[in-house]
Structure 1
Amino acid sequence: MADDVIRVGVVLDLNSTVGEVAESYILMAVSDFYAVNANYRTRLSLFTRDSKDDVVGAACAALDLMNNEKVHAIIGPQSSAQAKFVANLGEKAHVPILSFSATSPLLTTNHNPFFIQTTQDDSAQVKAIAALIQAYGWREVIPIYEDTDYGTDLILYFIDAFQEVDVRFPYRSVISPSSKDSDILEELNKLKAMQTRIFLVHMTASLGSKLFVHVRNSGMMSEGYAWITTQGLSSWLDTIDSKIMDSMQGVLGIRPYIQISKDLEDFERRWTTNYTSRKTNYNTLGLNLFGLRAYDTIWALAMAVEKANIEHSSFWKQNASENKVDLAAIGVSEIGPRLLDKIASTRFQGLSGYFDLVKGQLKASTFEIFNVIGRTERIIGYWNPKKGLSREIDDISEIACSISKNKLKAPIWPGDTISQPKKLRIGVPVRDAFIEFIKVEWCPRSYKDKPKISGFSIDVFLAVLDILPFPLPHEFVPYVNESRQSAGTYDELLFQIKLKKFDAVVGDTTIVANRSAYVDFTLPYSESGVSMVVLMKDNEKKNIWIFLKPLSWDLWLAVGATSILTGLVTWVLEHRVNSEFRGRPDQQIRTIFLFSFATLTASHREKVVNNWSRFVLIIWAFMVLILTQSYTASLASMLTVQQLKPEFVDVTEIKRNGYFVGYQKNSFVRELLVEQLNIDESKLKAYRTPEEYDEALSNGSDNGGVAAIVDEIPYIKLFLSKYGSRYAMVGPIYKTDGFGFAFPLGSPLVSYISRATLNVTEDKDKMTNIMRKYFSSQTTSTGENGSAEIYTYSPSLGVYSFGGLFIVVGAVSLFSLLLYVVKKFPHFHWTNSNIVPLEGSLWLRFIELVKNFNQKCLRSWSFWRNGSTLNPTVSPEGFGASPSVDDMQKHSRTSSEGADDVATDEDDEIL
């Protein structure tokens, strides 16, 4: 028989269903434990006090138990707020406080060393709820929690966990336990007006049951809404009235998983018989999680007391007082610290699961996810800290952690529907032109008059959704008025996101700076830029002056000037030594102008004898070769390949001439033309369809049409696919970022959609298939990256292209003249038949050359060959000197040998 009795206090709210149920579990636990362990020498003696659902009441009850009943451990209290205060008392008295229902994550042994949570704290469920929300693809959730320590302590954990999975709280709803019905309804009406329809309820059973009654009455327990409850409410649903359960149809809840065993089934049977015999109005009450935690807490305490080997128990009294709740009179338990250590090391298989404390808290285990249907809870899956979500409890053995909703059974959502709540309301533009990008068709009434939406933009978006790591339920909603016509411009459509009428916009919406002020765009999925389409001119081959087109007018002038310069330089170098470059003034002028032009076709008759002249002509011939080859290639291209050219290649030319410019109706291009390109609004005309584009361009600006259409490149490409033979795209004239999908500012979906969009656009096969589906007739050429090549008219060849060549020719000509003056001009001159050395600068030599320029150099073979009359009185060493008889004979022999037309460097050395 037991000799030692350990006094244990119990603090419960006996006026609540939770307190009554917990008390019955505790009493049965004491009875069952000692029935199994009858040989134990220690016994627990329970002293129960009513906390009256109040922090002060719980503190008074704990003080009374410590001061007057000398308890060495206290089980309870129920709430986290009460537990915080009582834990401080337990630390002061060295009395372990064991709570089976206080789940605040802030009640740790670091702050409260004598407090033990024999249940999982609320933070253990945070990751399970985050995984559940992520599995259904929800990116925004509104938490509704009570304004107590129990509610506020957990919300910070939710914020951190949800940030890891890119889920945000657009709003937090806080409800006080003392709120009136009107206050709750006012808050619910505020939530009802918001865009988010996913709610997370973290409340106790008393306040939570009151909330859901008003939720149903306010119409928020209907299709399109989703409600999730934390374990604080989920674990007490069996204690809630059936009418309240009716208001929670479709709610998802999460709570710790309790494995059914033979012992648990036996206990349930005995407890139900015992409890319902006293409480007939709760005859349907089943097993309760916190009740089972209380049961296991008694067993753990009884084991710890036995292992502590307590021989006697006593309190060290600090101060004597007659007041039962005098805080100063509280004693200190002698066996409290030893008992605390034994409780922390106690491990066993309890009714609620394996009892294992880690740092004063019950170790986290598997959670079950249920769906409220009727008056029961249907289990739809499980979550394990290591393995993630699973459909069946046996699937927890899977290797990979899963967050897919396919791992869960399909729930019945509020409104008695299987359609997942919170589908993204995606606005799409409605247009009657360029429907290849977005097309809205209204189906017959047999399909509930729902529109059929298709197009290039839609297919790209669906391809993006296919590779997202989570599901994204959505519905496309056309932006129309009552007559099913477009309700406004693209800017107005995008502004509906800011007004929370749409969750996103999908279509041919261009990414521009001013729109980024109220929406966030994803990465673009189309080509970027604004360009201009113009009418092509008539065939160049019909132009009788086409032979002049290959070279620009300035190049023609440059060639002529260079030719004259070359002729002039050659004449200067040849004039004194070559008889063919002498004669009457008019004859010499003709030689200067005609010689170099004749070399273009190798038709010149003059022969050069000066080596410097030959050097100049070699460089000139090289230049002529390059020019003729370029001319031939350009002319051939004009006559064969490039048969058309655009009428205009620059919007500046159109603006300068005052021509009309067209643009797409309701497009941002109008603002671009007015604000960026400074085109007069009176010169702008709006069109809607490619057919209108064609008619306006065909008529021209002078006949009621326009000179050019300015639009985005994707639209121009589509237009050219139908009318490309008559028009050309020139530009681009303005840079944009292309088409993108729009979401609210700060939306966590933007980064996911952008990454997926990048993957889709880089998949050439996928993009090609989508483009072929809608643009199969497109004939515009494409570059290596798949983008359209913009037609730009190639102008005639200009001077700049041959600038280096002209510089070389000019430099060679000047260099030859310089050396001619320096090296070939004689260093002496005649004075009264005497030779006088010529001293001085290059300028003096140049002056002397000018003075004697028209005199013949009689030593030149050109003059000898032509039989020039010689002056025998002049010295052969001077200017105009006559050759000697020996020279004449030498000349005769050389002429007979056929070398009379060659002048050597030795012959010119005296020059």
Structure 2
Amino acid sequence: MTAQGARAILGPQSSVESAFVADLATRAEVPVVSFSATSPSVCASAAPFFARAALSDAAQAGAVAALATYFGWRRVVPIYQDDDYGAAFVPFLVDALTAARAEVPYRCALPGGASKDAVAAAMYRLESEQTRAFVVHARPALAELVFATAVEAGMMARGYAWVITDGLTGLLGSIHPPQGVIGLVPYAPATPRLRDVRRRWARKFMREHRDADPAQAEMGCYALWAYDAAWAVASAAERLGPSDLSSPPGLVGGRSGPTDLSGLGRSTSGEKFLAAITNTTFDGLGGRFELVDGELAAPAFRVVNIMEDAKERSLGFWTPKHGLHRRLGGGASASNSGLAPVIWPDESTVVPIGWVQPTSGRKLRVAVPGDVDPGYGPIVHLDVDPATNRTVAGGFVIEVFEAAVRLLPYALPFEYVSVSSMPYDRLVEKVGNGDLDAAVADITITANRSQHVDFTLPYMSSGIAMVVPMRDQRSTRAWVFLKPLRYDLWLVSFVFLIFTGFVVWAVEHRVNGEFRGPPYYQIGTLLYFGFSTLVFAHRENLKSNLSRFVVVVWVFVVLILQSSYTASLTSMLTVPQLEPAIRDYASLWLGADKVGIMNNSFMRVSMTRSGFPPSRLRPYRAAHSFHEALLDGTIGAIVDETPYLRLFLKAYCDNFTKTAQTNKTGGFGFAFPKGSPYVADLSRAILNLTESDGMSAIERKWFGDAEGCAAQGSPFTSDSLSFASFWGLFLVTGATSLLCCAVHLATFLVVERRWIWEVASAPHVPLKGRIWMLLKRFDHKDLSSHTFRTKDGGAGGGSVAGRSANGAGAAHIAAGSPLSVSNHTYDMSEWSFDAPSPAPASATGESVELAAGDEAAAEVAAAPNPNLSCDQTDTGNLAGN
């Protein structure tokens, strides 16, 4: 820079050299463009005049994490070179794996000049651990040594997974990783220009190195980046022109010679040149060349499978946006997701799980509670075989755990360890501290416990509910007879009762003497008839078929209502109505009853945290203690998880019931230390058990098919009958009554149409008077009905004086009738509405008798009224009853 006047520096090749040169270039403000320094420790943020024309190693950390997630590796160990090149990459890798829920249990750092013995010792140490997924990030020389010793240690066998970063994959022509390794390499589009450059380079390389392996003539990613970096610097210099890059040579402001670093000057064209380089974009050999914050923009990575003789087989691609997919640009369809099948070490096609049981031979120490009450033995119990002094566990929990272990893809040796008189919170803490390897018990998954351990998926759902005594709630109140029917059904029944009586009266009163009489008498008859149908005590002789049809339908409805009422009332008074003494948690909260809880259960903390008075809580250990306390009234309810209450009711089901679940809990799960690889595998096994019939069969074995017992039955409750259950019947009877009423009214209007026309056409009669006349007409007897005829054909009904001897039978309007005068002033007193209407004589001239109870016919006028254009019979009918 000082002697030769360098305007920019292309290189250096290693990250260590790049850090030193970048520091000098920053002082001298000379741009440094590196195509091989991939360590994240050297970046533009620390050295502003440093530009990386290669991919940073941090860019591939996400791809490695995606592979771990895709293959289900929950533990990954990085093997890296312990220098600036390797150590700077590991923090980014650990962060990416942690975000992908994969653990880095330990790291294997190897010095760059490590001997074969040192590397072999490290490999044998890794082989004795549990992890079987490794990521190698080292220089080619150290990587070759790592793979050679791994083969000797048997670590390139089935069950192992190896991933190498792009620093090794890009040099497959120089190194030879074993078959089955997965590699990452930056994606370079296969353009015609790239193929031409590679062909010319290979021809030149083989001409100069005739004995070299043709694979060494392949241009790796570093060669492509070097070509693009030189092209970018040349393009930037060409755009600036000679005026900005020519004079003066060297650095301005330097105080001494070229070896005096403290006296470096400053380049006058450095900032412009750096800006020109960072703004240069083009499609290079390695893909799109574009510097973002001094770094080459991250393209896609190719995922390759190393085959025999270091040949690569493409598996797919990884991009920061779309993750792993088989074809680049194929979208996020299901057919394009994932990778092609991988051939793993030892030519295996089975995906390694990335973890195995350690070969030390130590069994997993599984804690099991040893002091479980016999009443809850079906959940978990522990016995000691006196012959072998071996701990034998049993119960639902144990059988589920052992069935899940049998489904694991590897052997899991374990032994049960009895723990007695230890609260589950303390047991969970011991597992979290490493004193125990696991806890297999009816441990409820809670937020507080999950801070200490990792739980498997719940193998049994659970919730908080209550068991309370049953009380006979049969009512002895005086008004209990009203309870079978709800108020809406009582009201509708009363309305329809009155309505049916009115319809029958309307149809019968003109033809049936039993429905006639003074108004109060007719109202009484209407009500009596309606209410008497409730007990089928109506004795009125119905004359009309319409009213008979109405009554038949109504009696059918009454029969059903009566039967339902009788059955409901009988059950209320005779059948025991068992109801919970405490209906819900709110009633328990507001009451004063003591509450029984399981000893050492989390229920005490949970209930007191929600505000329940601690003084009302009574802990018990045994199921029979709960039973005795409920019987003698010491406690009013048991609040516990549903599996325990289910067993309690199975043993003591008489006069007890379980109320609705108040809230849910996390269920029962197996506890393991944080980060244990067993959690995911056992969770998957539990899912397989649940989806198959295995879990149901185990549950039926220990809990049975039913939650209750035959002695208890189901609590009887007799709800009042409502209108919703009978609205169809009322619809039928209502429609029938309306139809019959409409037919009767239509018949009346047709028969009396001429009279109605005369009244409607009468002048000087107000509307009120016409309506009153129509109602009076409707109230009169229908003497033309067959019910008023005698056996000889005349009208019957009473023994009063006959009509005139000439048999004319004409009834005339009284002399005082307002219709007999053409210009008459309306006066209600002048209307003879009370005068009976004479019945017409029979056609044979026989005498006609008036109905009994009617008054004598008023004296009629000698001559008919000339203003009415109707015959004498119609006029007589108009005159009155």
Question: Distance between the aligned counterparts of 2:396 and 2:40, measured in 1?
Answer: 52
2:555 paired residue number: 621
- Per the alignment, residue 205 of structure 2 pairs with none
Number of the residue aligned with 2:842: 886
The correspondence for 2:701, drawn from 770, 773, 791, is 773
| Aligned equivalent of 1:395, options 347, 352, 359 | 347
1:694 match: secondary structure: helix
**1:771, distance to aligned residue in structure 2 (A):** 0.7
CA distance in 2: counterparts of 1:73 and 1:647, whole angstroms? 85
Cross-structure match for 1:311? none
Please report how far the alpha carbon of residue 561 of structure 1 lies from its aligned counterpart in structure 2 after TM superposition. Answer: 3.4
Residue 96 of structure 2 corresponds to residue 160 of structure 1: yes
Q: SS where residue 107 of structure 2 aligns?
A: strand
Q: Secondary structure at the match of 1:704?
A: coil
Deviation of 1:222 (Å): 11
Instruction: Report the counterpart of residue 551 of structure 1 in structure 2.
Output: 484
TM-score computed with the length of structure 1 as normaliser: 0.50
Aligned-partner SS, 2:484: coil
Query: How far off its partner does 1:776 sit?
Result: 3.6
State the alpha-carbon separation in 1 of the partners of residues 775 and 676 from structure 2: 90
Check 1:675–1:815 CA distance in 2 against 1; reply closer, same or farther (3 A cut): farther
Q: 1:766 to 1:224 in 2, by over 3 A?
A: closer
Q: Tell me, what secondary structure is at the counterpart of 1:166?
A: coil
Letter in 1 for 2:841: V
Contact between 1:162 and 1:168, CA under 8 Å: does it hold in 2? yes
Matched, 1:456 2:415: no
CA displacement 1:471-530 (0-9 Å, x = unmatched): 7979799895xxx202356xx766788989889876545567888899887765545544
Q: How many Å separate the matches in 1 of 2:457 and 2:843? A: 91
TM-score by length of 2: 0.51
Decide whether the 8 Å contact of 1:660 with 1:707 is kept in 2: yes
Residue 114 to residue 66, structure 1, CA distance change in 2 (3 Å) = farther
Tell me the residue number matched to 2:206: none
Distance change (3 Å), C-alpha of 1:882 and 1:638? same
**Match in the other structure for 1:43:** none
Name the residue aligned to 1:569: 502
Q: What code does the residue aligned with 1:166 have? A: R
| C-alpha deviation, 1:160, in angstroms | 2.6
Shift in CA distance, 725/435, structure 1 to aligned 2, threshold 3 Å: closer
1:723 matched to 2:672? The reply is: no
Q: How does 1:86-485 map to 2 (within 5 A)?
A: 138=74, 150-161=86-97, 163=99, 166-168=101-103, 198-202=105-109, 204=111, 394-395=346-347, 398=349, 402-405=351-354, 417-419=360-362, 431-432=372-373, 435-436=376-377, 438-439=379-380, 441=382, 443=384, 454-460=394-400, 484-485=420-421
In structure 1, the residue matched to 2:512 is 578
Whole-Å separation in 1 of the counterparts to 2:556 and 2:448: 57
Pair 1:434–1:133, CA change in 2 (3 A): farther
In 1, distance between residues paired with 2:844 and 2:594? 83
Q: Report the 3-state secondary structure (helix = DSSP H, G, I; strand = E; otherwise coil) of the residue aligned with 2:767.
A: coil
The alignment partner of 1:605 has SS state of coil
**Alpha-carbon deviation of 1:112?**
9.1
Aligned partners of 2:737, 2:514: CA distance in 1, in Å?
Answer: 20
Task: State the match for 1:799 in structure 2.
Answer: 722
What is the distance in 2 between the residues matched to 1:475 and 1:439? 17
User: Contact 2:463 / 2:663 at 8 angstroms: preserved in 1?
Assistant: yes
Moved more, 560-569 or 882-891: 882-891
Deviates more, 1:582-591 or 1:606-615: 582-591
Q: Distance in 2 between matches of 1:719 and 1:132?
A: 47
| Separation in structure 2 between the aligned mates of residue 73 and residue 683 of structure 1, nearest angstrom | 79
Q: Does 1:867 align with 2:797?
A: yes
Aligned length: 664
Q: For 1:535 and 1:871, how far apart are their aligned partners in 2? A: 84
Give the equivalent residue in structure 1 for 2:858: none
Paired residue type of 1:439: V
Q: Which residue of 1 aligns with 2:540?
A: 606
Match of 1:840 in 2: 767
Unaligned runs of 5+ in 2: 147-160, 178-211, 224-248, 268-284, 286-297, 308-312, 317-338, 757-761, 791-795, 804-809, 814-832, 849-876
Asked whether the 8 Å contact 2:469–2:655 carries over to 1, the reply is yes
> Which AA in structure 1 matches 2:347?
D
Distance 2:358 2:785 in 1: 114
Q: 1 CA distance for matches of 2:680 and 2:361?
A: 26
Cα shift at 1:167: 0.9
Residues 1:532 and 1:577: Cα distance change in structure 2 (over 3 Å): farther
Query: Contact between 1:532 and 1:729, CA under 8 Å: does it hold in 2?
Result: yes
Say which SS state the counterpart of residue 159 (structure 1) adopts: helix
Q: In 2 relative to 1, CA 558–130 (structure 1 residues): closer, same or farther, beyond 3 Å?
A: closer
User: Matched residue of 1:533: which SS?
Assistant: strand
Residue-by-residue CA offset, 1:532-566 (whole Å, 9 max, x unaligned): 434456799x99x9x97993475885587357535
- 1:528–1:712 CA contact under 8 A, matched in 2: yes
Residues 344-378 of structure 1: CA deviation (Å, up to 9, x unaligned): x9xxxxxxxxxxxxx9xxx999999xxxxxxxxxx
Question: 1:714 and 2:714 equivalent?
Answer: no
In structure 1, give the amino acid aligned to 2:494.
A
Matched residues in 2 for 1:847 and 1:745: separation?
Answer: 97
Counterpart-to-counterpart distance in 1, 2:504 and 2:694: 71
Q: What's the CA shift for 1:709?
A: 3.5
The separation in 1 between residues aligned to 2:393 and 2:26, in whole angstroms, is: 64
8 A Cα contact 1:674 1:680, kept in partner: yes
Query: Which of residues 666, 678, 692 is equivalent to 2:625?
Result: 692
Instruction: Give the aligned residue type for 2:641.
Output: E
- Residue 667 of structure 1 deviates from its aligned partner by 4.6
Q: Which residue of 2 aligns with 1:376?
A: none
Give 3-state SS (helix, strand or coil) of 1:691's partner. helix
Write the letter of the residue equivalent to 2:102: V
Letter in 1 for 2:422: S
Distance 2:443 2:94 in 1: 36
Name stretches of at least 5 consecutive residues in structure 1 with no aligned partner.
1-62, 170-197, 241-251, 265-294, 305-317, 331-344, 346-358, 369-382, 783-788, 830-834, 893-907
Seen in structure 2, the aligned counterparts of structure 1 residues 890 and 551 have a Cα distance that, compared at 3 Å, is: farther
In structure 2, C-alpha distance between the alignment counterparts of 1:85 and 1:684, rounded to whole Å:
72
Deviations 1:676-718 (A, max 9, x none): 7x97766654444332343344x2xxx4344544443333332
Distance (whole Å) between structure 1 residues aligned to residue 560 and residue 69 of structure 2: 73
